[in-house]
Amino acid sequence: MSPVDTQSLLMQMKVLAAQAQQQTKAVAPPTPEAEQVDFAGLLKSGIEQVNSQQKKSAELKKALEMGDPNVELTQVMLQAQKASLSFEAMTQVRNKLVEAYKEIMNMPI
């Protein structure tokens, strides 16, 4: 990544961070009538995102192996690391959920 790309990426990140801060300030506090969050839906969504990362990584690897001139090794490596990191995070969440379940099951009634 060239220094120009790094600088533009840094500027984009700062702009997005500022927008996120403004959006969090604009969000109203939750009300009792607010829509309830579905834990299973959130979990499924997270797993689907990890799966998407894994698929995208595999597609880029295959494209590089096939000699696609539009795919660079750096793209493939970055996507592979993103997929690996998201999978590792999902694994840690699963471990914490199993640990919490075991702790609840061992509680006296």
Hey, what amino acid is at 37?
V
Per the CB < 8 A criterion, the answer to whether 61 and 76 are in contact is yes
Q: Each residue of 32-78: pLDDT tens digit? A: 555 677 888 888 999 999 999 999 999 999 999 999 999 999 999 99
Any idea where the domains of the chain sit in the sequence?
38-109
Give the span between the Cα atoms of 15 and 29, in whole angstroms.
25
1 pLDDT higher than 60: no
